[in-house]
Every structure is written in C-alpha cells, then in structure tokens.
C-alpha cells in the first residue's frame, strides 16, 4: 500500500468539503471522508500485519521516496513501522470522532471542517515521514489551523489562548528547526541529508549530539507540554472548540512525544543517556505539578487540560528512563492518553452544549437526565485514574515497571513520586465525577435536557472501544510497539538489562 | 554584432519598446482611452515575460559593460513578472489616475534601470543603472499630487536615495583608486584586503543597505511606504528591493569573493539587527502599509542571512526567496491595493471582519501573510528554510536560532491580522463586498498559484540552483 494515500484522502476531502454547496453537504462529505480515512487505516493495519518481518526491530514497510529538492538531498521519503501505525490508528479514530461531535456546529461549518481535515493530514504526514524536512513541514502545517480553530470557533479568552498556543508551538518548532540544521550539517559535505534512515546509520559526533539533543528534545517537548513549557496547554485546550480540544490533546501532543522518541532519542542515543536525569526530573515535576494543579480547578476543561500535563509527564518519564519497557509504556501512554483525553473532552463538550456551563460548582446529578453522556464521562474518568481493564492502567503500569529497573536514587525517587501521584489523580477524578454525574440536581433547568444524539454516541463509542481494547488486549497492541522500542534501545547500545 | 545585441539585450529592448510606444501615444494627437493603455501594457508585459522563458544565451556586450546569462535573464524575468502583477493589481487606481501613461513610463524606466543594473559588468555601469532605477521612483512616490504625505515621502526618498548613492560612489572610487579597474571580472584578482579596500567594502554594503532597507539604514522605509501610492509601495518593496538583492549577491559572491572573511561578520550583524528591528517595530503598527513596510524590513534580514552563507546554496536560496517574496508580498499588497483603491481604508482595524463579505480577498490575504510568515505548505516556508539552511552552512548556528525565533516573533503580527480578518468584533462594521475587475483578480490569482507552486514543486528550486554560481 502506498502510504501517500493517508495524505491524499484528507486533502481531497478538504477540497471536496470546500466545494460543497450547503452545510448539510459539508457535514456529509466530511463524515464520508473521515470514514474513508478510518477504512484506509484499517486496511493499512491489515496489510501491515501480513507483511513478513513487520515485527523485526527497525523494519520499515511500504517505503516510498520521491525526489523533492534534489540539490539539497531532500526527498519525500515516507514509510511506516509499528510505532507510526499505532499513531495513525489513533489519529483516524480521533479525527472521525471530532467530526461527529461537531455535527451541530453552526458558525462557518465549511471552514471548520476544512481546517480539521488539514490538521489530520498534517498529523498523518508527520507520522509517516522518514525525512526530517518533510516531518518538520507537517509539524508546522498543523500550527495555523489550530490557531484559527481556537481564535474563531473557541470560547472564553480565545484570542489570547490561540495566540499563546501558536507562538509557543512555533517557538518549539524554531528549536527543532535549529537542531535539524545542525543534524543536516553533521553529515559529510556532499552527503548531507535530512533522511531519518540515513542519519540513523550515521554516527553523529558526540559534540553535535550534546548540543542538538536539548534543542530537538525541548522543541518537540513543547508540543507534549514539557515543564516549564506546558503553559499553552490549559489555555489552549480550554478555549478550543470541542473537536479542536480533542485533536490538540489527542493527537497534537503526541506529535511531540513521537518526535522526542523518534528523532531526538533515536538519532542521538549518547546525548539521550547524558540528559536522561534532566528529562526524568522535568517529567516528574510535570506529573506532580499537573496533578496538584488539576485538584484546584473548577472548570472541567481546565481540569482535563492540567491532567493532560500530568499524563504527558508519564510519556516523558518513560522516555527519560530509557529502558525498553519504559519506552513501551511511554508509547502506550501516548495512545491511551490520546483516546482517553479526547473522550473526556468530548464528554465535557457534550455537557457544555446542553448545560452551557463547565463549572463544577454549577453541575450536578446529570446521570438522571443524560445517562449516556454521564457514563462516558465516568468511563473517561476511570481510565484517567488508572482503573485496571482500561488503557490508563496498562500504560502507567508499564511505565512504572520500566522505570524501576533503572538504577540510581534519582530514578527510584522519581518513580515513587510518579506512582504516588495516582492518588492525587484519584482525588480529583472522583471528586469531579461525584459532583457532576451523581450528587443532587439543584438546577431545575437541567431536568429537561436531552441525552446524546446518534453522532455523539458513535463518537464516544469509537474512543471508548479503543480504551477498552488497549486495556484488555495490551499485548496485541505491544506487538506493534515493541519492535520499534527494541530498535531504539539497540541503537542506544548499552541498554539497562531488564530483570 | 547587431544580432548578438538583439539576442542578448532583448529583455531591455522589449521594455524600451513599451516605453517608446507609450511616449508616442502620449505625444500623438489621438488620445487612447485609459483602458486601452492598460490592456496594451499588460499584454506587452505578458509577452515579454513569456519570451523571457525561452532559453537564453550568455554573453557580453559593449566592451564588457553589459553581461548576461541564464541567471540574469531569470532574475529579470522575475522582476518583469512582478511588474506585470503590480500593473494588474493596481488596475482600479491606475484607471482613476489622470497621468496614467506617465505612471507607466516612469515605472518601466525604473524597471529598465533595474534590468541594466542586474546585467552590469562594470562598477560605472552599475552606478548609472542604479540611478536610472531610482530617479523615476522619486517622482512616482509623489504621484498622488494632492496628498501632502506623498510629497513628504518623496522628499525623504530623494534624500536617502541620494545619500545611499553617495556612499556607493565613494566606495566605488576607493576601489578604483586602489585597484585601477572598474571591471567586475578583473577586480577579484586585484583585491588584497588592504584597509582602503575594506573601507570601500563597508561603504558599498552600507549603500546597498539603504536600497534593501536593512537596519540601521531602514529609517526612510516606513514613511515612504506609507506615503506612496500602494502600487509604488509594492514596487519599492518587491521589485526595487529584489533587484538590489540580486546585485548584492552577485557583487559579494563574484567581485568581493576574496574579501568574504571580511563581509561575513558585517552581514551577520546586519542580518540579526534587521530581522529584530523589522519584527519588533511591526508589532505595534496600526496602519497596514507601515506594518507591511516593517515586515519587508524583517524579510530583508532573512535575505542577508542567506547571503552570508556564501555558497552556491546561498545564492540559490536568495534568488529563490526573491521569487517567493514576489508572490507573497505582492499577494498582500494586492489586497491592500484593491481595498485602498475601492474603499480608501488603510488601517489594520479596517480589516476587522473582512471575511464577512469578502471571503476570497480574505483567503488571499491570509495565504500571503502565512507565506510571509513562513508557514507550510506555502512557498515562504521553503524560501525561509533554505535561506537559513544556507546560513547554517557556515557552522554558525546562532544565526539560525535568531532567525528561527524571529519567525516566531513575526508570526504574532501576521496571525493577529489574520485573526482580525476572520473573527471581527461586535460594534465594528466590516467592509462591504468589493467587486473586482478581472485584472486585479488575475493578479491576485497569479500570486496564489505562485505561492503554492513555487514551494511544492521542487523543480523551481532545482532550476534556480542549476543556474546559480558556485560561491
């Protein structure tokens, strides 16, 4: 299968949506396009699993390469491995769900869905590209649609949030850009290249690694809310319209994690080991700070946004620990958090659409009037606090199991602190669930509210199924991930032996 | 001899032909309608552009005063295309203007000067062509005679332009004094890097600094851009700057090559100062022409960064960036020109809620601004990436980091304008629907297509690389 289809389908859908005559057609075309995406991705998974050697470390399948800027050795080089396939599946699910939850949008629907589709194309492009220039292209492609989605369709202090998000993400990509140019010139004259495969085989000089790694890791880290560059997350997520919040938290933050692991750690293993204490410390701060900050929130969206900072901290912790199992955990956490947060934002959006408030103090007893939405809310909450059987448990457990073997007081203490943060998570999740879903119903207006429509049910069902799937069949998912993490650890050479 | 003359100087001859046609029309007894003149000029410019796409032989003319080749021909053709776009976009302004033919004659004379400057093979020729390009502009800046602000702008332009010419001439005379020659081809062999030559180098770079409005020689830019009619502002910021950058690259990469260790630090500092000045001042502007003026100063900083790379990649990136810049900046100026000509509005706040009634114009403006900001998939992204990549070739990543962070800085004001256009505020009345003649429409469309194609089609860069010199 030619992976370029993953780009062509959303772009074509965006064009078709642009040509649609009325709002109804716009929605139908967008839905058809995203369903097509999902089918295409399902087909990709099928053929991927049939390929011999798909589970070999470092195997890249369905490679395509077209010359783009030949004098600079820049090619459109794309292909997938298990890691990227997992991310692509996540993207297709969240995008389809995002289109569905936006079904009732009235303000400029055509532009809204076009931007959403461009965003999805950017995410697919990022995950399939094997040339760092192309990858950077897609990383930046996604910034402006996010800005517009928040600035135009958002709520609250949307202009401030949109600008903050765009500038911080662009600053992140400015660091990535600087790191990339340095990597490019690390090659021999005449053989300079942005090609990931090429650079992976090439031993990058230690000096270059030591100053490139912080640039690239921090740059990608901004996307995944590395402390102290996480401040765009609460504002951005809470001002964004529901579908954009889902996309931001579900996919966009994963671009950062993917980049940290795939580009920074994979290409510069020596520097990764050198800087790993710093990463672990920052990740632990993010985990603790995020969960304590969440406790103090009254606005449901802010709550989920701060808890995202905390959950993405687990991704960084897993990466920082640099064992194969911890990397597995980091990737699982990326998938789990993507689905869980998107589901959470969807549920909050559905509640907000009906009650017009997101404040904990004003909500209560929703289970009686909207049983489906409330159940979804509870499911997402339980996943977030790590209930066994759901994806959150599997992912965090794997991170902890991978972190413990790493010797050293710092690593031990960080692991213990991160484990302890789960208690805090339980506090805020249970409090929010108790207050919103159960509890007394004070406001008589809420008594007449309706439950979810078909489109919301399908959207929630998709992500809920994903959460359960990862939670119940984690080893099936790990079949995709482990070859890649093994490869990265092999690249790192002297990996810490697992007990 | 005649045959080579006609084949080598055919772009200049074509322009001269258009100028003389207009002159004859002007002094002839029968008055041509303004529409007919515009049709004629646009048609001839298009023809000239298409002829310029034909393969071009290289060669020298007039005792090596004039030299040309594929690179020069392509550069001139880019400027010619830019001129055509400006002419198309300014249709509404031109049509309403009493002195339409004179406007074209002056514009094209200036363009002819730029063409000759690009082809100059001798410092004397270079200076003459430069003046020929600059003097008609002084009249053009003041072309809206009833506006006081235009007169002020014109005077500022004359003084700063004369000052820049003085610096250049001073530098040229020092070079002549220390080497005894003015011919480009002979100069590199005679450059020793003695203090007098270094002083001359500094003077010449300062003179160019005025022309491309690099900080700290940028002080005239915002006022002149604001005072001049939009068409002339567009010409100044794209064609005039582009031509000066082409010549600067050429001069530094060929003639001044032996002194590259001396000019690299100068360009490094100028580039950083220019980017920062342009972007920081642009943040606070409330008039759209001033905003674009400061943004074009910042863009000049990026060009200087690319030039400082002094490799073949550096030259290719600079020339490529000018092409990209022609489309992006003219896209933005085109929208401003149309809005200004048909509604008279030139404040940024007038663009609030533009999307309500003018969807097409808003998208074109937004795409142009994204391209200027360097957002993919538009050509500006590739242009800036390659410029900075060329700068990084020196191994000095501080310039890369500053440039990259400047892109973030510039994003603020570009995005702010885009946000205003799309969202609008309560209490403000958005501009009414603007209906465009097919010419401005075509001009804007060329820009959009250019922004998309010049970036995504790698062969455009490939072609420019193939004709660029090894540094």
- Average pLDDT of B170-192? 88
Query: Shortest CA distance to A335 belongs to which of A258, A407, A402?
Result: A258
* Residues in A touching B405 (Cβ below 8 Å): 171, 174
- Residue-wise pLDDT for B51-104, tens only, equals 888 877 777 788 778 888 888 889 999 999 999 999 999 999 988 888 888 899
Residue of chain B whose Cα is closest to the Cα of A187 = B393
Q: Would you call A152 and B422 a contact, using CB atoms and an 8 Å cutoff?
A: yes
Whole-number Å distance between alpha carbons of B34 and B22: 12
- Residue-wise pLDDT for B436-463, tens only, equals 888 999 999 999 999 999 988 888 999 9
Provide the 10 A C-beta neighbour count for residue A232. Answer: 24
Higher-confidence residue: A98 or A441? A98
Does B458 lie at the interface with A, CB-CB under 8 angstroms? yes
Whole-number Å distance between alpha carbons of B366 and B358: 12
Q: Would you call B397 and A181 a contact, using CB atoms and an 8 Å cutoff?
A: yes
Does B283 lie at the interface with A, CB-CB under 8 angstroms? no
Q: Would you call B381 and A166 a contact, using CB atoms and an 8 Å cutoff?
A: no
Out of B386, B392, B405, the one facing A174 most closely (by C-beta) is B405
Out of B316, B401, B422, the one facing A148 most closely (by C-beta) is B422
pLDDT of residue A167: 93
Q: Residue A493's pLDDT band (boundaries 50, 70, 90)?
A: low
Q: What percent of chain A has pLDDT over 90?
A: 50
* Residues in B touching A71 (Cβ below 8 Å): 313, 316, 461-462, 465-466
| pLDDT over 80 at B175, yes or no | yes
Q: Would you call B376 and A72 a contact, using CB atoms and an 8 Å cutoff?
A: no
Q: What percent of chain A has pLDDT over 70?
A: 99
Q: Residue B1's pLDDT band (boundaries 50, 70, 90)?
A: low
- Average pLDDT of A2-9? 90
Most distant CA pair in chain A, distance: 73
Residues 6+ apart with CB under 8 A from A263: A132, A135, A196, A216, A220
- Average pLDDT of A265-288? 91
* Residues in A touching B418 (Cβ below 8 Å): 148
Does B457 lie at the interface with A, CB-CB under 8 angstroms? no
Identify the DSSP state of A227. T
Q: Residue B186's pLDDT band (boundaries 50, 70, 90)?
A: confident
Q: Would you call A166 and B411 a contact, using CB atoms and an 8 Å cutoff?
A: yes
* Residues in A touching B370 (Cβ below 8 Å): 144
Output the DSSP codes for B83-98. HHHHHHHTHHHHHH-T
Mean pLDDT of chain B: 89
Does B418 lie at the interface with A, CB-CB under 8 angstroms? yes
pLDDT of residue A498: 38
Output the DSSP codes for A48-87. HHHSTTTTSTT--EEEEEEEEEGGGTEEEEEEE-HHHHHH
Higher-confidence residue: A221 or A369? A221
Distance (Å) from the alpha carbon of A174 to chain B's nearest alpha carbon: 5
Whole-number Å distance between alpha carbons of A315 and A489: 16
Residues 6+ apart with CB under 8 A from B363: none
* Residues in B touching A148 (Cβ below 8 Å): 418-419, 422
Does B96 lie at the interface with A, CB-CB under 8 angstroms? no
* Residues in A touching B422 (Cβ below 8 Å): 148, 151-152
Whole-number Å distance between alpha carbons of B432 and A340: 46
> B320, B377, B409: best mutation site toward chain A, by most A Cβ within 10 Å?
B377
Query: Shortest CA distance to B72 belongs to which of B30, B110, B44, B114?
Result: B114
- Residue-wise pLDDT for B262-317, tens only, equals 889 999 999 999 999 999 999 989 999 999 999 999 999 999 999 998 888 889 99
pLDDT of residue B238: 93
- Residue-wise pLDDT for B386-398, tens only, equals 999 999 888 888 8
CB pairs under 8 A between A and B: 91
Distance (Å) from the alpha carbon of A41 to chain B's nearest alpha carbon: 24
- Average pLDDT of B134-139? 91
| pLDDT over 70 at B470, yes or no | no
| pLDDT over 80 at A442, yes or no | no
* Residues in B touching A133 (Cβ below 8 Å): 385
Higher-confidence residue: B104 or A446? B104
| pLDDT over 70 at A92, yes or no | yes
Q: Mean pLDDT lowest for which of A194-198, B51-55, B320-324, B357-361?
A: B51-55
- Average pLDDT of A175-191? 85
Out of B381, B404, B416, the one facing A174 most closely (by C-beta) is B404
Residue of chain A whose Cα is closest to the Cα of B467 = A71
Residue of chain B whose Cα is closest to the Cα of A68 = B458
Q: Is B396 helix (H, G, I), strand (E, B) or coil?
A: coil
| pLDDT over 80 at A257, yes or no | yes
- Residue-wise pLDDT for A297-353, tens only, equals 889 899 999 999 999 999 999 999 988 899 999 999 999 999 999 999 999 999 888
Q: Which residues of A touch B (CB under 8 A)?
A: 67-72, 74, 133, 137-138, 140-141, 143-144, 147-148, 151-152, 159, 162-163, 166-167, 170-171, 174-175, 177-178, 181-182, 184-185
Q: Would you call B419 and A170 a contact, using CB atoms and an 8 Å cutoff?
A: no
- Residue-wise pLDDT for B220-247, tens only, equals 999 999 989 999 999 999 999 999 999 9
Window 203-232 of B: residues touching A by CB (8 A cutoff) are none
Q: Mean pLDDT lowest for which of A197-201, B111-115, B371-375?
A: A197-201
Residue of chain B whose Cα is closest to the Cα of A70 = B462
**Helices A474-491 & A391-403 angle (0-180, nearest 10):** 30
Does B412 lie at the interface with A, CB-CB under 8 angstroms? yes
* Residues in A touching B365 (Cβ below 8 Å): none
Per the DSSP assignment, residues forming a β-bridge with A464 are none
Q: Residue B471's pLDDT band (boundaries 50, 70, 90)?
A: very low
Out of A71, A133, A185, the one facing B465 most closely (by C-beta) is A71
Q: Would you call A177 and B388 a contact, using CB atoms and an 8 Å cutoff?
A: yes
Q: Is B357 helix (H, G, I), strand (E, B) or coil?
A: coil
pLDDT of residue B424: 67
Distance (Å) from the alpha carbon of A18 to chain B's nearest alpha carbon: 12
Does B463 lie at the interface with A, CB-CB under 8 angstroms? no
């Amino acid at each position: 299968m030619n992976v370029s289809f993953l780009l062509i389908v959303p772009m074509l859908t965006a064009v078709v949506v642009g040509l649609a005559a009325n709002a109804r057609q716009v929605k139908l075309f967008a839905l058809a396009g995203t369903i097509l995406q999902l089918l295409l991705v399902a087909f990709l998974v099928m053929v991927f699993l049939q390929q011999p050697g798909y589970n070999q470390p470092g195997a890249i399948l369905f490679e395509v390469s077209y010359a783009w800027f030949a004098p600079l050795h820049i090619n459109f080089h794309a292909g997938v491995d298990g890691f990227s396939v997992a991310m692509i599946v996540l993207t297709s699910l969240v995008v389809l769900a995002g289109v569905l939850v936006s079904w009732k949008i009235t303000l400029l629907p055509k532009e809204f869905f076009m931007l959403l589709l461009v965003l999805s194309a950017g995410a697919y492009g990022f995950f399939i590209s094997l040339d760092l220039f192309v990858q950077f292209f897609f990383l930046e492609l996604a910034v402006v649609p996010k800005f517009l989605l928040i600035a135009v369709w958002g709520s609250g202090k949307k202009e401030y949030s949109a600008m903050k998000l765009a500038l911080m993400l662009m600053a992140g990509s400015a660091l990535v850009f600087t790191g990339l140019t340095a990597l490019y010139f690390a090659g021999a004259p005449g053989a300079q290249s942005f090609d990931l495969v090429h650079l992976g085989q090439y031993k990058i000089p230690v000096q270059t690694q030591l100053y490139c790694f912080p640039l690239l890791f921090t740059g990608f880290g901004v996307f995944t809310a590395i402390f102290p560059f996480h401040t765009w997350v609460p504002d951005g997520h809470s001002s964004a319209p529901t579908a954009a919040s889902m996309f931001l938290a579900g996919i966009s933050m994963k671009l950062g994690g993917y980049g940290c692991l795939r580009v920074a750690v994979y290409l510069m293993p020596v520097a990764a080991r050198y800087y790993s204490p710093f990463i672990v410390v920052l990740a632990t701060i993010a985990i603790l700070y995020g969960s304590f900050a969440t406790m103090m929130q009254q606005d449901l969206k802010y709550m989920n946004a701060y808890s995202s900072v905390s959950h993405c901290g687990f991704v960084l912790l897993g990466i920082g620990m640099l064992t194969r199992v911890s990397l597995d955990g980091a990737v699982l956490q990326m998938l789990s958090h993507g689905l869980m947060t998107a589901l959470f934002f969807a549920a909050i959006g559905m509640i907000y659409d009906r009650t017009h408030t997101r404040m904990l103090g004003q909500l209560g007893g929703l289970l009686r009037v909207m049983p489906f939405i409330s159940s979804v809310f509870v499911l997402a909450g339980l996943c977030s606090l790590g209930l066994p059987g759901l994806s959150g448990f599997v992912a965090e457990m794997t991170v902890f199991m991978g972190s413990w073997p790493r010797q050293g007081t710092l690593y031990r203490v960080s692991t213990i602190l991160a484990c302890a943060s789960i208690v805090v998570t339980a506090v805020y999740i249970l409090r929010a669930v108790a207050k919103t879903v159960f509890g007394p119903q004070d406001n008589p207006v809420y008594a007449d509210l309706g439950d979810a429509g078909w489109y919301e049910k399908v959207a929630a069902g998709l992500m809920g199924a994903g959460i359960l799937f990862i939670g119940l069949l984690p080893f099936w998912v790990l079949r995709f991930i482990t070859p890649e993490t093994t490869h990265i650890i092999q690249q790192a050479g002297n990996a810490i032996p697992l007990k | 001899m005649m045959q080579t003359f006609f084949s080598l100087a055919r772009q200049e001859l074509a322009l001269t032909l258009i100028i003389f046609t207009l002159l004859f029309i002007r002094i002839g007894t029968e008055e041509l309608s303004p529409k007919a003149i515009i049709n004629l000029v646009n048609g001839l410019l298009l023809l000239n552009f298409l002829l310029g796409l034909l393969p071009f032989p290289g060669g020298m003319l007039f005792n090596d005063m004039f030299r040309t080749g594929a690179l020069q021909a392509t550069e001139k053709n880019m400027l010619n295309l830019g001129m055509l776009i400006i002419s198309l976009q300014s249709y509404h302004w031109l049509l309403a203007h009493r002195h339409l033919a004179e406007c074209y004659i002056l514009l094209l004379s200036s363009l002819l000067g730029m063409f000759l400057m690009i082809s100059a093979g001798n410092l004397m020729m270079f200076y003459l062509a430069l003046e020929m390009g600059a003097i008609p502009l002084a009249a053009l800046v003041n072309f809206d005679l009833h506006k006081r602000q235009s007169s002020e702008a014109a005077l500022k332009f004359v003084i700063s332009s004369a000052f820049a010419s003085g610096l250049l001439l001073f530098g040229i005379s020092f070079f002549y004094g220390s080497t005894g020659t003015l011919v480009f081809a002979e100069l590199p062999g005679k450059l020793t890097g003695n203090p007098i030559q270094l002083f001359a180098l500094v003077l010449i770079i300062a003179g160019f600094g005025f022309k491309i409005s690099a900080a700290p020689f940028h002080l005239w830019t915002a006022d002149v851009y604001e005072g001049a009619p939009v068409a002339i502002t567009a010409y100044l910021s794209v064609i005039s700057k582009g031509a000066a950058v082409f010549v600067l690259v050429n001069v530094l990469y060929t003639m001044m090559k032996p002194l590259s260790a001396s000019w690299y630090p100068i360009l490094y500092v100028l580039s950083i100062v220019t980017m920062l000045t342009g972007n920081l001042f642009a943040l606070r502007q409330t008039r759209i022409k001033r905003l674009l003026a400061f943004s074009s100063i910042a863009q000049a900083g990026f060009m200087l960064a690319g030039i400082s790379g002094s490799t073949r990649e550096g030259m290719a990136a600079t020339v490529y960036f000018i092409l990209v810049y022609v489309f992006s900046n003219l896209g933005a100026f085109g929208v401003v020109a149309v809005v200004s000509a048909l509604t008279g509005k030139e404040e940024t706040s007038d663009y609030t809620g533009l999307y309500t009634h003018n969807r097409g114009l808003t998208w074109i403006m937004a795409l142009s601004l994204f391209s200027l900001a360097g957002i993919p998939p538009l050509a500006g992204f590739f242009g800036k990436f390659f410029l900075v990549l060329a700068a990084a070739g020196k191994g000095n990543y501080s310039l890369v980091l500053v440039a990259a962070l400047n892109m973030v800085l510039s994003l603020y004001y570009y995005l702010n304008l885009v946000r205003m256009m799309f969202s609008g505020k309560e209490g403000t009345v958005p501009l009414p629907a603007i209906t465009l003649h097919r010419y401005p429409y075509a001009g804007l469309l060329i820009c959009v297509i250019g922004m998309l194609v010049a970036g995504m089609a790698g062969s455009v860069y490939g072609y420019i690389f193939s004709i660029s010199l090894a540094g």
